[in-house]
Amino acid sequence: MSEKETMLVQKISDGTVIDHIAAGKALSVLRLLGNPQDRGVTVALVANVVSSKMGKKDILKVEGVELTDDQVQKLALIAPLASVNIIRSFRVWGKKNAVPPKTVLGVLGCTGATCVSVREKDSVTSIFSLVSSSPLVYRCKYCGRDLTEQEIAAQLA
């Protein structure tokens, strides 16, 4: 983040800063993280920041919460370009890149109306395996149909 960007919201002492979220996706990211603001966690959302890399981007700051590796993997489903900075005592303590997980269990739904994971959804956990990271494509284990990046984003919006 540039100095100008940090001026918009005060620095956090401990927690996570998620940068390079595609513009308009920050709320989806919060939902994917279980809406920490609903549990009283301080969250700052900066939307539509000008970015040389992305044109426009969103940024999230989550006070007092460090994202787990599992959460970072899920984050990659809707923000595959996101970078995650773990902050401790106002300093960047560690960085994590959002790498799409090889397998996604239960988070995504198959688009095939006749797939067994849809017809038997109460008794079956959906399982998708990564086909491509860019563009993001996942394949249903049961029927072999592919989920595109747009379909994934729509499901997690």
61 Cβ contact list (under 8 Å, min separation 6): 9, 12, 15, 16, 17, 18, 43, 44, 46
Each residue 121-140 as x (binds other proteins by CB under 8 A) or -, in order, gives: -xxx--------------xx
Question: Measured from the CB atom, is 16 or 117 closer to other proteins?
Answer: 117
Among the listed residues 41, 112, 130, 155, the single contact to other proteins using CB under 8 A: 112
Question: Measured from the CB atom, is 83 or 119 closer to other proteins?
Answer: 119
The span of 44-52, 80-88, 97-105, 141-149 binding other proteins (CB under 8 A) equals: 141-149
> Counting contacts by CB under 8 A, is residue 147 touching other proteins?
no
Shortest Cβ 131–other proteins spacing (Å): 9
Say if residues 142 and 110 touch (Cβ distance below 8 Å). yes
The CB density around residue 22, as the number of other CB atoms within 10 Å, is: 20
d(CA 136, CA 138): 7
3-state DSSP call for residue 131? Answer: strand
d(CA 128, CA 111): 12
Residues 50-109 that bind other proteins (CB under 8 A): none
> Counting contacts by CB under 8 A, is residue 116 touching other proteins?
yes
Q: Among candidates 115, 107, 113, which has minimal Cα distance to 141?
A: 115
Shortest Cβ 133–other proteins spacing (Å): 17
Interface residues toward other proteins, by CB under 8 A: 112-120, 122-124, 139-146
